[in-house]
């Protein structure tokens, strides 16, 4: 019995191992997968291959029809062979850590040498790049030597010419072009030996290079068409060098291959175009980098990085980052980050498409495309498209299109879709609110809206609008005393807070200040009232209340002042008390609340 159980467990473990068949130390393309899929979308098939191999695919959505249906039945096959089976050799692929990068590459070409000249400290090669299927010459293909950083673009007849200084045992040329598979070939120093095919050890290795330079007009304007073609043809090859210097893009110490070199130090008298910086870069006018910039970048006008920045980026006019910015960005006019910002942005205007963790400080406006976890300070507008978990301070407008979990302080308007924090401004607006809004006007779309009609010991007819939420609502009031020879007109504002004790009974506190018009405008007459409303809810839309009131009346009129005819001359009752030269007394108020 024990032997049978042991054999059964051994079989089950062997079967499970056959199903996974993944060695996570292998390259992703060499990992073995076992799948049996029928009538699946090709995007789902790629996801299942990635799940089986422990990696992800990245590709352009136009590479294939997303709704294309395929069948796949493979057992212990390398991912490379599975992709060949799926795409019939029409897709090229490269690896990058946990990713496999797919690109359309249906065509194949070859490098045909026409002449090879060797001399002392000179090696020259001319030739053509030819489509192997059609025999046609391929124009605008990049032909380059990775180690020596020399490259050329083929002309309309597919012709190229390259010269290398120094003594070289072998020259390895690689040809690349969009929709073609890369081809590499080795040329030995003796012209008596025919060129051989070359298996590039890096052919399956790639890196993510932003196409930011092709999408921004100023990037296209500052780089030549040949440089942009090389960028399309050779997007994945990067190498490192200690120093480069350039006058303008193309006139560089690295020549036409400058866009494939990451430098420790880069000096550009007018402007430069490189793959990236891992140290420091300085330019009189502009710096353009295909990928990442680390530590320090300074330009008189423009810094444009296609990848991620880390450190300090300073420009006289604007900074543009294709992915994430970590550190400090300072510019005279505009900072733009297409990913997320973790650090500080200082400019006339700042924009981050993703999350902001840190500070945005500007003269005109700050925009965070996702969440803000930090601080925004501007003279005009702060805008966050999702949640604010921090501070927004603006001279005019603060706005968050989702949740406010922090603080908004503005000179005029604050807006939050869901206020869960604190708003202080002239006008505060929210769709819903469980926080506090303090201002002249507090409006909550799905909040506290009541109309109150009341009478009190001073003015017999009052109407008030109350808006905000139960934590803090604003009161706008108007009133008139309809008594012969005791006329009063009044207007004022105040704040209130609801305390709920039950479904039927509740109470609230209100503090108001109102001007009493006694027929003339030559003196201020201010009646301040603090009242405790005891409320009884009769229905969903109607409640009644009564309240004891503490009145404190402040008037600038002299004691011998005579009011206008028909207006009340004595506001405070005979039992009022003198408080620092003004009158105080206990009064009352009764009324109804609608809604």
Continuous segment of H or E residues that includes residue 84: helix 79-87
**pLDDT tens by residue, 71-117:** 888 888 898 888 888 887 778 777 766 778 787 777 888 888 888 87
Cα radius of gyration rounded to whole Å, the chain:
38
- Better pLDDT: 200 or 146: 146
CB 459 within 8 A of CB 480: yes
Write down the pLDDT at residue 223: 63
pLDDT at 23 > cutoff 60: no
**Nearest C-alpha neighbor of 172 from the set 152, 129, 193, 143:** 143
Predicted pLDDT of residue 394: 97
Q: Say what the pLDDT of residue 189 is.
A: 59
Residue 123, exposed/middle/buried by CB under 10 A (0-12, 13-18, 19+)? buried
Higher pLDDT, 217 or 555: 555
Which tens digits make up the pLDDT trace of 238-254? Answer: 566 788 888 888 787 76
What is the average per-residue pLDDT within 521-549?
A: 93
Question: What digits encode the pLDDT tens for the residues 445-472?
Answer: 988 889 999 999 999 999 999 998 888 8
In this prediction, residue 13 carries a pLDDT of: 40
Distance CA 273, CA 256 (A): 10
Residue 165 pLDDT class (50, 70, 90 cuts): confident
CB 18 within 8 A of CB 34: yes
How far apart are alpha carbons 62 and 307 in whole angstroms?
Answer: 23
Confidence label for 14 from pLDDT (cuts 50, 70 and 90): very low
pLDDT tens digits, one per residue of 396-455: 999 999 999 999 999 999 999 999 999 999 999 999 999 999 998 899 998 888 999 999
CB 43 within 8 A of CB 65: no
Q: Which residue has the higher pLDDT, 148 or 494?
A: 494
Of 67-71, 91-95, 258-262, 568-572, which one has max mean pLDDT? 568-572
**What pLDDT is stored for residue 12 in this prediction?**
39
CB 439 within 8 A of CB 428: yes
Report pLDDT digits (tens) over 313-353. 999 999 999 999 999 999 999 999 999 999 999 999 999 99
Q: How far is CA 432 from CA 392, 417, 451, 454, 468, in A?
A: 19, 6, 19, 28, 9
Query: Taking the mean position of all CA atoms in its chain, how far away is CA 156?
Result: 43
Q: How many helices (H) and strands (E) does the chain have?
A: 6, 46
Question: Averaged over 253-264, what is the pLDDT?
Answer: 73
Exposure pattern of 378-417 as b/e (b: 16+ CB <10 Å)?
Answer: bebbbbbbbbbbbbbbbbbbbbbeebbbbbbbbeebbbbb
pTM: predicted TM-score of the whole model, two decimal places: 0.66
Averaged pLDDT score across all residues of the chain: 84
Instruction: Identify whether the C-beta of residue 149 lies closer than 8 Å to the C-beta of residue 261.
Output: yes
The 3-class SS string of 85-140 reads HHHCCCEEEEEECCEEEEEECCECEEEEEEEEEEECCEEEEEEEEEECCCCCECCC
Check pLDDT > 70 for residue 257: no
* CA 299 – CA 312 distance, rounded (Å): 11
Confidence bin at 191 (pLDDT 50/70/90): very low
């Amino acid at each position: 019995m024990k032997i049978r159980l042991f054999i059964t467990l051994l079989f089950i473990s062997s079967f499970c191992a056959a199903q996974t068949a993944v060695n996570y130390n292998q390259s992703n393309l060499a990992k073995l997968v076992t799948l049996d899929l029928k009538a699946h979308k090709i995007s789902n098939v790629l996801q299942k291959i990635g799940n089986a191999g422990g990696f992800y695919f990245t590709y352009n959505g136009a590479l294939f029809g997303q709704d294309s249906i395929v069948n796949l039945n493979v057992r212990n096959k390398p991912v490379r062979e599975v992709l060949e089976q799926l795409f019939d050799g029409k897709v090229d692929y490269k690896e990058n850590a946990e990713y496999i990068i797919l690109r359309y590459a249906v065509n194949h070409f070859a490098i045909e040498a026409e002449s090879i000249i060797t001399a002392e400290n000179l090696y020259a090669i001319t030739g053509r790049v030819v489509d192997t299927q059609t025999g046609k010459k391929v124009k605008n293909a990049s032909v380059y030597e990775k180690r020596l950083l020399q490259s050329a673009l083929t002309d309309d007849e597919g012709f190229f010419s390259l010269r290398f200084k120094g003594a070289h045992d072998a020259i390895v040329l690689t040809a690349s072009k969009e929709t073609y598979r890369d081809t590499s070939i080795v040329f030995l120093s003796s012209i008596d030996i025919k060129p051989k095919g070359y298996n590039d050890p890096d052919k399956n290795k790639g890196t993510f290079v932003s196409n930011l330079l092709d999408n921004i007009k100023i990037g296209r304007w500052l780089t030549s068409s040949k440089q942009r073609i090389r960028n399309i043809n050779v997007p994945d090859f990067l190498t490192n060098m200690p120093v480069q210097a350039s006058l303008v893009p193309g006139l560089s110490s690295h020549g036409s291959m400058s866009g494939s070199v990451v430098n420790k130090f880069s000096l550009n008298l007018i402007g430069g175009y490189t793959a990236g910086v891992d140290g420091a870069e300085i330019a009189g006018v502009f710096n353009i980098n295909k990928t990442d910039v680390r530590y320090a970048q300074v330009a008189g006008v423009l810094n444009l990085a296609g990848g991620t920045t880390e450190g300090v980026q300073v420009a006289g006019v604007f900074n543009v980052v294709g992915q994430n910015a970590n550190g400090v960005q300072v510019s005279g006019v505009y900072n733009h980050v297409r990913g997320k910002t973790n650090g500080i942005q200082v400019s006339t205007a700042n924009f981050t498409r993703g999350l902001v963790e840190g500070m945005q400080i500007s003269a005109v406006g700050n925009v965070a495309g996702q969440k803000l976890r930090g601080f925004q300070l501007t003279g005009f507008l702060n805008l966050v498209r999702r949640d604010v978990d921090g501070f927004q301070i603006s001279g005019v407008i603060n706005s968050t299109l989702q949740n406010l979990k922090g603080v908004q302080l503005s000179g005029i308007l604050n807006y939050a879709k869901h206020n869960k924090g604190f708003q202080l401004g002239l006008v505060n607006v929210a769709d819903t609110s469980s926080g506090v809004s303090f201002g002249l006007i507090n409006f909550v779309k799905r909040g506290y809206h009541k109309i109150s009609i009341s009478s009190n010991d001073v003015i017999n007819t009052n109407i008030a609008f109350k808006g905000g939420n139960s934590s803090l609502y604003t009161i706008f009031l108007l009133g008139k005393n309809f008594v012969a020879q005791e006329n009063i007109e009044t207007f004022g504002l105040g704040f209130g807070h609801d305390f709920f004790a039950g479904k039927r009974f509740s109470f609230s506190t209100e503090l108001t200040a109102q001007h009493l018009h006694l027929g003339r405008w030559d003196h201020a007459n201010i009646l301040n009232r603090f009242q405790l409303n005891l409320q009884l809810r009769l229905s969903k839309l109607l409640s009644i209340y009564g309240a004891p009131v503490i009145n404190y009346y402040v008037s600038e009129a002299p004691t011998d002042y005579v009011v206008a005819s028909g207006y009340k001359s004595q506001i405070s009752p005979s039992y009022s008390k003198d408080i620092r030269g003004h009158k105080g007394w206990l009064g009352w108020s009764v009324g109804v609340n609608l809604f």
